[in-house]
A and B are shown apart, each in its own frame.
Chain A
Amino acid sequence: MLKRRTLVAAAGAALGCLAAFPVAAQEVVKVGLILPMTGPFASTGRQVSAGAKTFIQTHGDTVAGKKIELIIRDDAGVADQTRRIAQELVVNDGAKVLAGFGLTPLAMSVAPVATQAKVPAIVMAAGTASITKASPFITRTSGTLPQYSLPVGTWAAQNGIKNVVTLVSDYGPGIDAEKWFTKEFKAKGGEVTEAVRVPLQNPDFAPFLQRVRDAKPDAVFVFLPSGVGSLFMKQFSERGLADAGIKLIATGDVTDDDILNSMGKPSIGTITGHFYATAHDSPENKAYVEAFKKANDNMRPNFMSVGGYDGMALIYAALEKTKGDASGPAFMEAVKGLSWTSPRGPVSIDPETRDIIQNIYMREVKEVNGELQNVEFQTFEALKDPEKAEAK
């Protein structure tokens, strides 16, 4: 009998402790960063997390009286893992904000969790336009494929390119890129003679490149995820497409700054459209690149790292606006219409779609001080995601 009473008392004491715990935890806002840190997309995870950490390093870990705690989890690029980790972070770890998401399916899998738990989810890398439509608690600090494919179409039409073959990876972002480039290019009077889609797991580009070569277009428009993109670049020059007078125009994923330097001479002259280049000329970016390189063994920050950096910037700015209230609805209300100066230039969050509005730059690969860089030469200012703009 006595034993039982002590047990009850002990349980009561434990309960009391539990009840007291959240009061102490109020001062900490946990941010659950879910990224592919291993597996084929590990470089995405590495860049994004390094970007996020750089922000905390340079801006301190407290905002509006709250301490920001970053919990980084690895989903290895598998969607059901992402979802499980998201649930765990929200339920067990008490994460107030979810962020990261290297690929579209991974971001999509978290949407129901964000909606049900009313937890904001900040997409720092994935680029398919429709992600932000999946939940009212999703916002984005990377960019969308339509957003930076469309200007490439505009540029191509204005610069004497008459007919184009498109070549994209056969999955969500690739199809987005193909659709919006084609749409814009056709509207401006160009002609797309052929649309080639390459399987995501593709060992050899030879047959596809030969197809492009035989179609003899003025240029080939390419979207491929960054690692594969570099391989493509080599085979492009190997096959003599450039000598055959075919220009290479692409989204910035292909000339990813992280590996651009190792692509060598063949990449010089490639024209790409994207939202960030390491070589972007602004004081904010200079400071960012310097801090990033110092903390990461001289690794070059690429566009994904900026997505991570700006994701943290967004969290800080929103918390400042809500005076530290990290609850979902208040946070999302604060996010809408936020604007700040990112290393990539001025950005803001569209209050209607919760997607990012930013400049898209046209760049050319050039050798600068012995290193290959994406050098910007034209700016399309404050572009919204065209897909959602059209839907209205």
Chain B
Amino acid sequence: MLTILFDGVAYGMLLFILACGLTVTLGLMNFINLAHGAFAMAGGYVTVIMMNRYGISFYWCLPAAFLVSALIGLVLERTLYQWLYQAPHLDQVLFSIGIVFMAIAATDYFMGGQQQLINLPPELSGRMDVFGVGVGRYRLFTIVVCALLAVALQFILSKTRFGSRLRAAVDDRRVAMGLGINVPLVFALTFAFGSGLAGLGGAMGAEILGLDPNFPLKFMIYFLIVVSVGGTSTVSGPFLAALLLGIADVAGKYYVPAIGPFVIYALMIVMLIVRPNGLFARGGR
């Protein structure tokens, strides 16, 4: 029972890291970026290449995955995305799904279509007993890292100067620019940060979720569920939503395997009926 709960939390945390970058772009910058998974995939492949080809330690791969994905995000934002901020949502969707397909084809071409596997350092593999509950070490690691990130993210957005600039830029771009905030820079950094988080999620998820060129498509639905259930205006909303979905998914598959895969969709429908604007909607927007 507790093991299931634990697995659910770990899975939810992973979903959160993968999806929270999307929350930032979708909720704060009002840009529908379906290519979010492609950045996660980039992070995953950076890890695979570094570990399997060059034998670099897994712990170094995580920040590297973050940086590389963030860098790719930054470049793409400057060259492509920024022209579409004012475009209608349909254009954004078409544009970003196009990027997804290009990313899939490119990955397949360079890396091959097979599943990529990484071998974790020994201290992270296996499981241990904590008060009689079987706990996977890697899952524990995931939970700790993701929880720290969630706290840090919430802190940056609500307490720092950068956070308030970002919120100002989102609320009223013109006034923010008039007050001397460099809005394009803020957006570029935010986008890069969101992409970097996705990359980190992809790197950490490679062990649990697997990694192949279709990763962005396979998990797009999960990201979107997390964001739509959690709402896009806060960090805590998607965080709780991801946890809820992770636990519901794992528990559903354990207790009622026959209908397990439907549980999260049912949950999503109920949540959207009860709280159409997300768990903690600010309302109005």
Contact = CB atoms under 8 A, between A and B. Distances in A.
Interface of A: 38-43, 46, 196-197, 199, 201-204, 206-208, 210-211, 227-228, 230-231, 234-235, 237-240, 258-259, 262-264
A302 B126 CA distance: 29
Given A38-B108, A207-B250, A228-B115, A234 B218 contact: no
Contacts of B213: 42
9 contacts: A43-B113, A199-B261, A203-B218, A204-B249, A207-B7, A208-B254, A238-B125, A238-B127, A262-B116
Shortest Cβ-Cβ A-B pairs, 4 listed: A42-B113, A207-B253, A207-B254, A227-B115
B134 A240 contact: yes
A199 B221 CA distance: 15
Contacts of A263: 117
Contact of B210 (A42, A206, A231): A231
Secondary structure type dominating chain B contacts: helix
Contacts of A239: 127, 134, 136
Interface residues of B, number: 41
A38 B257 CA distance: 31
Contact of A238 (B105, B126, B252): B126
B214 interface: yes
Given A206-B250, A230-B115, A238-B138, A39 B214 contact: yes
Contacts of A259: 114-115, 117
Nearest to A256: B114
A123 B230 CA distance: 47
Nearest to A45: B113
Contacts of B209: 203-204
Given A207-B4, A238-B136, A239-B127, A264 B260 contact: no
Nearest to B6: A206
B112 interface: yes
A221 B268 CA distance: 33
A367 to B, nearest CB: 14
Contacts of B258: 197
A21 to B, nearest CB: 36
B254 A211 contact: yes
A235 B214 CA distance: 20
Interface in B221-274: 222, 249-254, 257-258, 260-261
Contact of B260 (A46, A199, A237, A262): A199
A201 B3 CA distance: 23
Nearest to A265: B119
B151 interface: no
B208 interface: yes
A206 B113 contact: no
B9 to A, nearest CB: 11
Contacts of B212: 40, 227
Contact of A197 (B112, B218, B257): B257
Interface string B1-29: 00110010011000000000000000000
B260 A43 contact: no
